[in-house]
């Protein structure tokens, strides 16, 4: 099956495919099924990103890297050729700040990108300092799904400010479909039109997400925009 979205489904840098590590995929069998389904859509490389949320998902290199090894081995055995890698989706909180300040090993995408997310409730009060410190430590921060933080929706300037500070923005493809509601969809489109989006991600957790991604294609104009060279996933 070759999807009409084929041109935008090549490299993914945001998903929850390591079994049992977070609120994503539960079993190796399911992980392999999703990797196969994503492969059928056109994805050749998947960089999966388990949540790191202190107290809830206590992940780090010690849990993520062995889980990646196990999934790679299972994929190999199943004859799957999709390239698999892992980083993490860090909640930007005190714990993350302590890792950064303590110069702990952070899990990167391509050696330099760090995927971070904000709380869905409120903006981290010291986000400017954290982004600045990340840059000073040689990392390139990527903010996951900026369109999903409702408390920012009134403020397009905020996103411009992040962009100017060198924070890259990653929109969820599911947002473009309207999966999270029309307000989130509108914000995603607005960010795209403003030229502020650097990456797209599936943020795949479960089959309902997969069904949307593999369902009817996004509209042709939107696909052309995503395939038009502004999105940097293919550098990964
Ligand atoms: Fe995520």
Question: Residue 1 has what pLDDT?
Answer: 44
For residue 2, report the distance from its CA to the centre of ligand 1, in Å: 26
Phi/psi region, residue 229 (left: phi>0; alpha: psi -120 to 50; beta: rest), is left
For residue 89, report the distance from its CA to the centre of ligand 1, in Å: 6
Q: What is the pLDDT along the chain (236 residues), one digit of tens a residue?
A: 445 676 678 899 999 999 999 999 999 999 999 999 999 999 999 999 999 999 999 999 999 999 999 999 999 999 999 999 999 999 999 999 999 999 999 999 999 999 999 999 999 999 999 999 999 999 999 999 999 999 999 899 999 999 999 999 999 999 999 999 999 999 999 999 999 999 999 999 999 999 999 998 898 989 888 887 788 898 88
CA 198 to CA 194: how far, in whole Å? 11
CA-based nearest residue to 42, from 213, 177, 231, 224: 213
For residue 164, report the distance from its CA to the centre of ligand 1, in Å: 24
148-152: long-range pairs with CB below 8 Å, 24+: 148/120, 148/172, 148/175, 148/180, 148/184, 149/118, 149/120, 149/123, 150/120, 150/183, 150/184, 151/121, 151/122, 151/123, 152/123
For residue 193, report the distance from its CA to the centre of ligand 1, in Å: 23
For residue 78, report the distance from its CA to the centre of ligand 1, in Å: 26
Q: Give the phi and the psi of residue 2 in degrees, each rounded to 5.
A: -110, 115
For residue 49, report the distance from its CA to the centre of ligand 1, in Å: 7
Domain residue ranges in the chain: 6-235
CATH superfamily of 6-235: Metal-dependent hydrolases (3.20.20.140)
Say if CB 49 and CB 87 are below 8 A apart.
yes
Question: Residue 35 has what pLDDT?
Answer: 98
Q: Give the phi and the psi of residue 123 in degrees, each rounded to 5.
A: -70, 135
Question: Residue 78 has what pLDDT?
Answer: 98
Question: Residue 6 has what pLDDT?
Answer: 66
For residue 205, report the distance from its CA to the centre of ligand 1, in Å: 8
For residue 195, report the distance from its CA to the centre of ligand 1, in Å: 22
For residue 203, report the distance from its CA to the centre of ligand 1, in Å: 5
């Amino acid at each position: 099956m070759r999807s009409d979205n084929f041109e935008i489904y090549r490299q993914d840098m945001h998903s929850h495919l390591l079994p049992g590590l977070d609120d994503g995929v539960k079993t190796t069998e399911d992980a392999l099924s999703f990797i196969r389904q994503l492969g059928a859509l056109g994805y050749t490389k998947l960089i999966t990103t388990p949540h790191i949320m202190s107290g809830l998902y206590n992940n780090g290199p010690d849990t993520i890297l062995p889980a990646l090894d196990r999934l790679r081995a299972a994929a190999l055995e199943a004859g799957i050729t999709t390239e698999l890698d892992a980083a993490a989706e860090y909640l930007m909180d005190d714990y993350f700040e302590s890792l950064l300040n303590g110069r702990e090993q952070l899990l990167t995408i391509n050696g330099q990108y760090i995927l971070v997310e904000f709380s869905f409730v409120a903006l981290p009060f010291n986000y400017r300092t954290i982004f600045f410190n990340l840059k000073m430590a040689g990392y390139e921060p990527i903010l996951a799904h900026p369109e999903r933080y409702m408390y920012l929706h009134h403020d397009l300037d905020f996103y411009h400010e992040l962009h100017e500070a060198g924070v890259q923005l990653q929109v969820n493809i599911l947002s473009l479909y309207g999966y999270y509601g029309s307000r989130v969809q509108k914000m995603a489109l607005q960010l795209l039109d403003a030229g502020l989006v650097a990456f797209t991600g599936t943020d795949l957790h479960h089959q309902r997400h997969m069904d949307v991604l593999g369902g009817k294609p996004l509209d042709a104009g939107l696909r052309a925009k995503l395939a038009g060279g502004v999105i940097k996933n293919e550098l990964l």
